Structure 1
């Protein structure tokens, strides 16, 4: 699936032979991410013509010098964000997984970005692996502050995964609030088998438990500052915030004087440094705020997410709301690129799974 000149289509391209240290992998299942949709809408200028950074694949060819653990036939996940090499960002500046064969450069292989998975891994859950790893990173950092209330802002796949993982990774006593963008989003959550304690479209103080408040902001880059300000306006005496969603360059808010929000998010990349770099400051109202963010995850977060999906597949499976092949994915992505409406084929889309086998 290739982006070119504002269009999106399925084309035939030659498969490159792997050079020293390189791998060619065959995608089995891949997911569509919110950042992919932003690229399709022209809101990001990432150059890769082939998008897709969520999924699992099978090694089909290994170049000279590749370790035996990556022999052909090995099932692998690919960590899309290299912590020290900005030249490797899968599906953004390097061709991604929405193609039958993907060439992975040596920097990804030697840098530990390719992770062997058990052969019995449930491949159909692959589109949830990387986003659940993002949630694992976020909740692991927030856990250090022992929040009594967790506010999840955003009702996309990250938000829904966070709601379902929160009590398993933060503790059963944590009160979880899911803030939706629309009433239709709230209605989807109301009918879901695993729900937050509170479903709402706006926040108010009465919904908070006494003590530290945690917030996971899983919003598009044009909504993250608004979400942050909504959480800050609650006036919690101590607040820990993870800026999962993107931000425009040099983003700021008068509620946190002197803080470069974009820099705070960019300070952590691919799981480094460890522990994460956190900005602690006082809000304009004098309340203590711990602020951090991250681009990408570490391998350990992917492995934790894989273990979680293996242990509790039914807890997450229904979040894959749509499945199709490459040709069908073009139709869905064109619809998403041209509209803010997330209803596809009469159903609200949370996660699209693209299967490289027969049409579904």
Structure 2
């Protein structure tokens, strides 16, 4: 459909979305108005959207991100543009890097995200649009953003030291991707042990030269206890998972953990790369680093990695289902008590 310079492949005025209630709670399926592209904007049709730990934290009220519709992981097709120069993008399969190097994440956080049939990429975020390789299966694409972040983590650790024995605290998607891909991202790594915050019995004290924290925000205190106990003197602590805005811990005096993590955002590496600290318990010397998100180039690398080794990563896709079943699954996951038996949930919108 043509309207001035606007070209749409569908002309749809409304579409289905997983809309979350104010405050906390599972989303509901609702019809919402489809945005129209202004010059520089894209309107995209979601193929599959992924649910990540951050989304669950928002639904549980742990985070106060205002977007009504979540979702920053997945793959989509550009269906509407409003500038002649953008016509070449029509029909292209794309992903959107949710973490810009200039500030906070917007898509699925402050801006309605991909858990809907169509979503808007505003002109100011166009630089975060990345073409998806033709050979990448749509279901695997929901792992691209977290895998890109894992590869970024490996690149940072290589610059800090040469990790050999690594403990990962957090058993979610990130933890499982670190188990699979960290040795690829950082060749010095010989051993990767993954544990949850409630599984401390088998973790050796002072046995790891590197600890990566990728637990949820509400579990960060427990994760720090496990990680600092397991870290050897002179080891590296990498902050991967969510932290509260003023992330501080009495065992790491004078250190703002959130600030250290934010130095390396969207693939941009800040300085200094590490913060040196001595713990108040055990008096260990610790080099602290971290990161948020990845660059567009790393997102592309992750998509190529998924394309090359699909059978290695596909077992992480515990559930890929339609929006109705996804709503039921999310209702269980954010209920009281929460019931979650899956690692990665994908919402398949291709037949809707």
Give your verdict on TM over 0.5. yes
Match of 1:241 among 237, 243, 249: 237
How far 1:350 moved relative to its partner?
0.2
Are residues 1:37 and 2:52 paired? no
**Inter-partner Cα distance in structure 1 for 2:255 and 2:221:** 12
1:9 is displaced (CA, Å) by 1.0
The reply to whether residue 90 of structure 1 matches residue 107 of structure 2 is yes
Task: State the match for 1:135 in structure 2.
Answer: 150
1:29, 1:127 within 8 Å by CA — same for their partners in 2? yes
Structure 1 residue 283, shift from structure 2 partner: 2.9
Q: Distance in 2 between matches of 1:106 and 1:173?
A: 41
- Deviation by residue 1:144-198 (Cα, 9 ceiling, x = unmatched): 3111111111111100010001222223751111112456xxxxxxxxxxxxxxx
TM-score (norm 1): 0.85
Residues 1:12 and 2:20 aligned together: no
315, 334, 349: which is aligned to 2:342?
349
CA-to-aligned-CA distance 1:119-152 (integer Å, 9 cap, x gap): 2221120111111111111111112311111111
Q: How far apart, in 1, do the equivalents of 2:135 and 2:269 lie? A: 33
Report the counterpart of residue 58 of structure 1 in structure 2: 77
Change (3 A) 1:276 1:157: farther
Q: Secondary structure of 2:148's partner?
A: helix
Asked if 1:256 is matched to 2:224, the reply is: no
Structure 1: how far apart are the matches of 2:152 and 2:54?
A: 18
CA contact (8 A) 1:20 1:66 kept: no
Q: 1:304 aligns with which of 277, 287, 301?
A: 301
User: Which residue number corresponds to residue 221 of structure 1?
Assistant: 217
Answer with 11-20 or 167-176: which moved more: 167-176
Q: Give 5+ residue unaligned stretches, structure 1.
A: 184-199
The Cα offsets for residues 78-112 of structure 1, whole Å up to 9 and x where unpaired, read as 011222254x5110100000000001100110xx2
Q: Using the alignment, how far apart are the partners of 1:17 and 1:224 within structure 2? A: 41
| Alpha-carbon contact 1:229-1:253 (below 8 Å) kept | no
Write the distance in 2 (CA, Å) between the matches of 1:339 and 1:216.
29
Aligned-pair distance for 1:30?
0.8
The answer for the alignment partner of 2:10 in structure 1 is none
CA distance in 2, matches of 1:342, 1:272: 37
Q: Which sits farther off after the overlay, 141-150 or 259-268?
A: 259-268
Q: Please tell me the root mean square deviation across aligned C-alpha atoms, in Å.
A: 2.2
- CA distance in structure 2 between the partners assigned to 1:155 and 1:74 by the alignment: 34
Distance 1:89 1:277 in 2: 25
Quote the Cα distance in structure 1 between the aligned partners of 2:318 and 2:202.
Answer: 25
Q: Identify which of 94, 104, 110 aligns with 1:76.
A: 94
Q: CA deviation at 1:62?
A: 1.3
1:105 corresponds to 2:117:
no
Aligned residue number for residue 204 of structure 1: 204
Of stretches 14-23 and 114-123 in structure 1, the one that deviates more from structure 2 is 114-123
- State the aligned residue count: 331
In structure 1, the residue matched to 2:351 is 358
- Normalized against structure 2, the TM-score is what? 0.87
- In the TM superposition, residue 274 of structure 1 has moved relative to its aligned partner by 5.5
Query: Which consecutive unaligned segments of at least 5 residues does structure 2 have?
Result: 1-17
The aligned residue for residue 4 of structure 2 is none
Q: CA deviation at 1:237?
A: 2.0
- Residue 189 of structure 1 aligns with which residue? none
Contact 2:197-2:222 at 8 Å conserved across structures: no
